[in-house]
């Protein structure tokens, strides 16, 4: 390809892309030149969190009881500085879009990082219950450590539980980036606003969706392709969706939801219920219920070659 010279329409194309009409809706211009949060750094922060929460499984491979304190201290300190910087960037991005004045983003970021840090031991506690749930919930799991090291459920829940604490502190953008990272890797889309209690397990994971205002109790187990979504959402007078309305299911303790089930709207799935696969559900279910799809028909297909 040695003989490529520049495209002859190059200037015209470039001018078009640099005209305000073209860029105005798709260009980011901050108030004061703070760049966007770095997804690369965010990824490193989350991996450092994984090394903190599950020492010896992730991070330093020579971890032992003697060096644990030094290592965790160092990693925590790095998370602290890097997370505070990213949170600040998230604020500036948000201020910019909301056309509000962006004052004191740095201090707010530091204070919220302080608040988040207090939750780290509790995040580990919750994840330790999730590990137990994964081990008990999957006959193929040989030991709890295997679920920590290689199960997408635990991977996703670490991201979610970190993101949820940041979300509760009303930190913009950052929580979403964190859950979206897990979404990309495991196919599970948990909104950071969802509330999920202890001992939660998702088997196989791909395609699970858990919406912003979901509430999920203790000891719940769900399978791949389950949607806990919104049935509809009202628009305001300008045709924009009204933000922040409670619109997703509440799932009580001890519920199992099988693969592909879709549960929409603020309905309650009562304690101890079992929801069968591929079910479409938009109403409350009493505690202890068993819900499943109609039987499929046996039939002749129309085409010989396929379905």
Q: 3-class DSSP state for residue 280? A: strand
> Binding of a copy of itself at residue 88 (CB under 8 A)?
yes
DSSP annotation of 241: B
Residue 298 C-beta: closest distance to a copy of itself, Å? 6
140 is written with which tokens?
A: 């193929």
Find the binding residues for a copy of itself in span 115-174 (CB under 8 A). Answer: 117-118, 120-121, 124-125, 127-128, 131-132, 136-140, 142-146, 148-152, 172-173
Out of 40, 103, 237, 306, point to the residue binding a copy of itself (CB under 8 A): 306
Query: Count of residues binding a copy of itself (CB under 8 A)?
Result: 162
Find the binding residues for a copy of itself in span 12-71 (CB under 8 A). Answer: 13-14, 16-18, 22-23, 25-30, 32-36, 52-57, 60-71
Residue 129 C-beta: closest distance to a copy of itself, Å? 9
Residue 286 C-beta: closest distance to a copy of itself, Å? 9
User: Between 217 and 258, whose beta carbon lies closer to a copy of itself?
Assistant: 258
Q: 3-class DSSP state for residue 73? A: helix
User: Between 202 and 250, whose beta carbon lies closer to a copy of itself?
Assistant: 202
Q: How far is C-alpha 128 from the geometric centre of its chain's CA atoms?
A: 18
Residue 167 C-beta: closest distance to a copy of itself, Å? 11
Q: Give the helix/strand (H/E) hosting 251.
A: strand 250-251
Three-point CA angle 91, 94, 100, nearest 5°: 100
8 A C-beta contact, residue 279 and residue 261: yes
User: Between 237 and 298, whose beta carbon lies closer to a copy of itself?
Assistant: 298
Q: Which residue's entry shows tokens 């099988």?
A: 258
Residue 105 C-beta: closest distance to a copy of itself, Å? 10
DSSP annotation of 43: H
> Binding of a copy of itself at residue 290 (CB under 8 A)?
yes
8 A C-beta contact, residue 54 and residue 123: no
Residue 145 C-beta: closest distance to a copy of itself, Å? 5
Reference 193, options 217, 218, 215, 223; nearest CA is 215
Residue 253 C-beta: closest distance to a copy of itself, Å? 16
Find the binding residues for a copy of itself in span 179-238 (CB under 8 A). Answer: 180, 183-187, 189, 191, 193, 204-207, 209, 211-212, 223-225, 227, 229-235
**φ/ψ of residue 22, rounded to 5:** -80, -40
Instruction: Name 150's Cβ contacts closer than 8 Å, sequence gap at least 6.
Output: none
Q: Which residues pair with 210 in a beta bridge?
A: 190, 228
Residue 274 C-beta: closest distance to a copy of itself, Å? 6
Out of 43, 100, 104, 293, point to the residue binding a copy of itself (CB under 8 A): 293
8 A C-beta contact, residue 192 and residue 167: yes
Q: 3-class DSSP state for residue 175? A: helix
Out of 43, 77, 100, 104, point to the residue binding a copy of itself (CB under 8 A): 77
> Binding of a copy of itself at residue 100 (CB under 8 A)?
no
């Amino acid at each position: 390809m040695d003989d490529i010279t520049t495209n002859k329409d190059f200037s015209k194309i470039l001018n078009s892309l640099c005209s305000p009409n073209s860029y105005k809706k798709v260009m980011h211009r901050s108030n004061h030149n703070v760049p966007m949060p770095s997804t690369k750094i965010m990824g490193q922060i989350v991996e450092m969190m994984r090394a903190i929460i599950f020492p010896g499984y992730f991070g330093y491979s020579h971890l032992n009881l003697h060096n644990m304190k030094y290592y965790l201290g160092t990693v925590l300190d790095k998370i602290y500085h890097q997370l505070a910087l990213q949170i600040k960037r998230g604020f500036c991005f948000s201020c910019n879009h909301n056309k509000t004045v962006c004052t004191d983003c740095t201090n707010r970021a530091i204070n919220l990082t302080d608040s988040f840090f207090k939750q780290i031991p509790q995040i580990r506690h919750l994840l330790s219950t999730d590990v137990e749930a994964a081990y008990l919930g999957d006959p193929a799991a040989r030991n709890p450590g295997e679920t920590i090291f290689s199960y997408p459920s635990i991977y996703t829940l670490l991201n979610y539980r970190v993101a949820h604490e940041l979300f509760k502190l009303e930190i913009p953008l950052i929580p979403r980036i964190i859950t979206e990272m897990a979404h990309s890797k495991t196919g599970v889309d948990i909104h950071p606003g969802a509330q999920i209690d202890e001992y939660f397990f998702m088997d196989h994971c791909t395609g699970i969706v858990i919406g912003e205002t979901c509430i999920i109790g203790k000891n719940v187990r769900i399978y791949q392709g389950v949607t806990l979504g919104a049935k509809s959402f009202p628009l305001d007078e300008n045709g924009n969706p009204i933000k922040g309305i409670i619109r997703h299911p509440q799932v009580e303790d001890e519920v199992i939801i099988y693969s592909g089930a879709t549960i929409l709207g603020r309905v309650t799935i009562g304690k101890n219920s079992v929801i069968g696969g591929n079910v479409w559900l938009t109403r409350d279910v009493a505690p202890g219920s068993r819900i499943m799809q109609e039987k499929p028909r046996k039939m002749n297909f129309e085409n010989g070659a396929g379905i």
